[in-house]
C-alpha cells in the first residue's frame, strides 16, 4: 500500500546532505527566516507511511511525523484521495460567512467523538496556536474574567496569547514583551512529588495562588497539556486532572486542555485526557487532526461556547480540503490506528526499557501510546543535552529521524500507522548509536 514497501528502509546511499540537498540548503540559508530551528540537514522530497525520501534519494525511517502531525502516515492513500476529490469540487468559500458540508460534517464528528456526555460545539482554526488563542478568548468571554492559569513547562504556541500562556523556554518569550497580562504560571502537577491524589496540587491553588496573587473569582480558565510536549513528554500524574476538574467546578472556571500534540489518537485514545476520565470544558486540537493539512479546532461544551456572531472568526479556518482530510483521518483512527498506537507504543517502551537496562546513558522511559520519550543522561545521572543532540545527529546519519524534547529527552512520535517491524528497526538503529561509545564521549568532550 505504501510507496516504499518493496524497499529496504532506511537506505542512506549518499551521506546527507547530498549534492542536491546542499544546493537547497544554500538557498534556504540566504532567503529563509533565521528563526527556524532545523537540527539536521534533511531536505525532503517525498513521504509515504513512516518513510521519508530526501532529494538525493536516501530513505529515512520517520519517527517525528513532521512534529507529531502526519497521524495516518505520510500521504495515506485514503487521505490523499479525499483531498484530491475535494480539491476538484471546492477549495475555499470561508466557513465564517457561508456553509459547506465538510465543515459541518467534521464539526458534528468531533463534537460527537469528544470525551464526556455534554453536548459540544466546534470552532475551526488553521493551527495549534490559533486554537489556543480561540480558547483564551472564549474563556474570557464566557466567564467575563481576565486572569488565566497555565503551567511551567507548558508550550502552547508562538502567537501572543499562546506565547504568553507558554512557560517552557525563555527563547520563546525573550524580547517580545509586553505579553498578554494576567497570566499566572504554577508548577506542573508532575513537579509535586508523591501527589498521586492531586491534593497538594489543589492546596497550591487554594492556599497560595488564590490567596496571594490571583483571586479565583477573577480566573477565567486553567490551561493544561495532559502530557507536556515540548518540555519533555511529561505525563500528568494519575489523579491530577480529576483534581483540577473539581477545582474548576468549585470556582466556576473552565478547564482547557491543550491536546495539540497529545490528541487525535496519538496516545491510543482520541484525546489523552480520556486516560484520566475527565471531561474538559474546552479541548484545543491541531497537528494530527488532518494528517498534514493545516487545520486546528477548539471543541467546547455548548454551554461554554456562548460567544455572539462576529466575536470570533477565521477566513481559512475549517477549509473544505483540510476538513475532508480530517474526516478521512478520523475514519482511519477508528478503523485501527488508535489501537495500533497503543500496541506499538507498548512495544516501543518495552524496547527502550530493555535498551536503558544495557546503556546507562538512557533513563526514564515514559509516555502513552506513540507519545513516548527517554532521557539521555551523563554517567552521574544528570541531564546531558549535548549527548542527546549527538544521538539525534547520529540516528539521522543512520537513517532514523528523531527529535529532542525537554532538556535531554529523545522524542518518539512516529505516524500512528507505524508497523511492528519499523519499531524493531528504530530500536536496532538506536542500539547501534548507543553501542558506539565514542559518540557519547565526543559529545561530552
Ligand atoms: N500546543 C502544543 C501542545 C504544541 O505542541 C504546539 C506545537 O508544537 C502548539 C500548541 C502550537 O501549534 P502550532 O505550531 O500549530 O501553532
* Distance in Å, CA 406 to ligand 1 centroid: 14
Instruction: Locate the DSSP E strands across 34-129.
Output: 44-48, 51-54, 59-62, 120-125
* Distance in Å, CA 261 to ligand 1 centroid: 7
Q: What is the C-alpha R_g of the chain?
A: 22
Q: Is the CB of 231 under 6 A from ligand 1?
A: no
pLDDT for the residue numbered 444: 47
Q: Tell me which of 66, 124, 156, 161 to substitute to probe ligand 1's pocket, judged by most ligand atoms within 8 Å of the beta carbon.
A: 156
Residues contacting residue 22 through CB under 8 Å, at least 6 positions apart: none
pLDDT for the residue numbered 438: 59
Phi first, then psi, for residue 136 (nearest 5°) are: -65, -45
| Cα(245)–Cα(174) distance, integer angstroms | 32
Q: Provide the β-strand partners of residue 194.
A: none
* Distance in Å, CA 284 to ligand 1 centroid: 10
Give the full edge-to-edge strand order of the sheet including 51-54: 44-48, 51-54, 59-62, 400-401
Nearest to 279 by CA among 306, 257, 304: 257
CATH classification number, 19-75+339-444, choose in 3.30.1330.10, 2.40.30.10, 3.90.1150.10, 3.40.50.1370: 3.90.1150.10
C-alpha cell, 187: 508548577
The domain spans of the chain are 19-75+339-444, 93-318
* pLDDT tens-digit series, residues 276-303: 999 999 999 999 999 999 999 999 999 9
pLDDT for the residue numbered 443: 53
Q: Tell me which of 64, 68, 153, 157 to substitute to probe ligand 1's pocket, judged by most ligand atoms within 8 Å of the beta carbon.
A: 157
Q: Which fold has domain 93-318?
A: 3.40.640
* Distance in Å, CA 258 to ligand 1 centroid: 9
In terms of DSSP bridges, do strands 183-186 and 147-151 run parallel, antiparallel, or are they unpaired? Answer: parallel
pLDDT for the residue numbered 110: 98
Q: Is the CB of 258 under 6 A from ligand 1?
A: yes
Q: What mean pLDDT comes out for the span 418-436?
A: 96
Of all protein residues, the one whose alpha carbon is nearest to atom 15 of ligand 1 is 128
* pLDDT tens-digit series, residues 144-186: 999 999 999 999 999 999 999 999 999 999 999 999 999 999 9
Q: What mean pLDDT comes out for the span 217-234?
A: 97
**What's the Cα-to-Cα distance from 317 to each of 97, 272, 423, rounded to whole Å?**
11, 24, 35
Q: Is the CB of 127 under 6 A from ligand 1?
A: yes
C-alpha cell, 46: 517525498
C-alpha cell, 104: 459541518
Q: What mean pLDDT comes out for the span 73-99?
A: 98
Nearest to 327 by CA among 120, 98, 108, 134: 108
Amino acid at each position: 500500500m505504501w510507496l516504499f514497501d518493496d524497499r529496504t528502509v532506511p537506505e542512506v546511499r549518499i551521506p546527507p546532505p547530498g549534492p542536491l540537498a546542499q544546493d537547497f540548503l544554500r538557498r534556504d540559508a540566504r532567503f529563509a527566516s533565521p528563526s527556524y530551528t532545523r537540527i539536521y540537514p534533511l531536505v525532503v522530497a517525498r513521504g509515504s507511511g513512516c518513510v521519508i525520501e530526501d532529494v538525493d534519494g536516501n530513505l529515512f525511517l520517520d519517527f517525528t511525523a513532521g512534529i507529531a502531525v502526519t497521524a495516518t502516515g505520510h500521504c495515506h492513500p485514503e487521505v490523499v484521495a479525499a483531498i484530491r476529490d475535494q480539491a476538484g469540487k471546492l477549495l475555499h468559500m470561508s466557513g465564517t460567512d457561508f456553509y459547506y458540508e465538510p465543515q459541518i460534517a467534521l464539526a458534528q464528528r468531533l463534537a460527537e467523538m469528544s470525551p464526556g456526555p455534554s453536548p459540544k460545539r466546534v470552532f475551526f482554526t488553521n493551527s495549534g496556536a490559533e486554537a489556543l488563542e480561540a480558547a483564551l478568548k472564549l474563556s474570557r468571554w464566557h466567564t467575563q474574567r481576565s486572569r488565566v492559569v497555565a503551567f511551567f513547562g507548558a508550550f502552547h504556541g508562538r502567537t501572543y496569547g499562546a506565547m504568553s500562556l507558554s512557560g517552557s523556554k525563555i527563547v520563546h518569550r525573550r524580547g517580545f514583551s509586553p505579553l498578554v497580562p494576567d497570566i499566572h504560571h504554577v508548577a506542573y502537577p508532575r513537579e509535586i512529588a508523591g501527589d498521586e491524589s492531586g491534593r497538594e496540587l489543589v492546596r497550591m491553588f487554594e492556599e497560595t495562588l488564590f490567596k496571594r496573587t490571583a483571586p479565583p473569582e477573577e480566573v477565567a480558565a486553567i490551561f493544561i497539556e495532559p502530557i507536556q510536549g515540548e518540555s519533555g513528554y511529561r505525563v500528568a500524574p494519575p489523579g491530577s486532572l480529576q483534581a483540577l476538574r473539581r477545582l474548576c467546578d468549585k470556582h466556576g472556571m473552565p478547564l482547557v486542555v491543550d491536546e495539540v500534540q497529545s490528541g487525535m489518537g496519538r496516545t491510543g485514545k482520541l484525546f489523552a485526557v480520556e486516560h484520566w476520565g475527565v471531561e474538559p470544558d474546552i479541548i484545543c486540537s491541531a497537528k494530527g487532526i488532518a494528517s498534514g493539512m493545516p487545520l486546528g479546532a477548539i471543541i467546547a461544551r455548548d454551554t461554554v461556547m456562548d460567544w455572539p456572531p462576529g466575536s470570533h472568526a477565521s477566513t481559512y479556518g475549517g477549509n473544505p480540503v483540510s476538513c475532508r482530510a480530517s474526516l478521512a483521518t478520523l475514519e482511519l483512527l477508528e478503523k485501527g490506528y488508535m489501537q495500533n498506537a497503543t500496541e506499538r507504543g507498548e512495544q516501543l517502551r518495552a524496547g527502550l526499557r530493555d535498551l536503558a537496562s544495557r546503556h546507562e546513558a538512557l533513563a526514564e522511559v515514559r509516555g502513552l501510546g506513540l507519545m513516548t520519550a527517554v532521557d539521555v543522561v551523563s554517567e552521574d545521572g544528570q541531564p546531558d543535552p549535548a549527548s542527546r543532540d549527538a544521538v539525534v545527529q547520529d540516528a539521522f546519519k543512520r537513517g532514523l529521524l528523531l527529535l529532542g524534547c525537554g532538556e535531554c529527552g529523545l522524542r518518539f512520535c512516529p505516524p500512528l500507522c507505524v508497523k511492528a517491524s519499523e519499531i524493531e528497526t528504530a530500536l536496532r538503529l538506536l542500539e547501534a548509536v548507543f553501542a558506539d561509545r565514542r559518540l557519547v564521549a565526543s559529545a561530552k568532550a
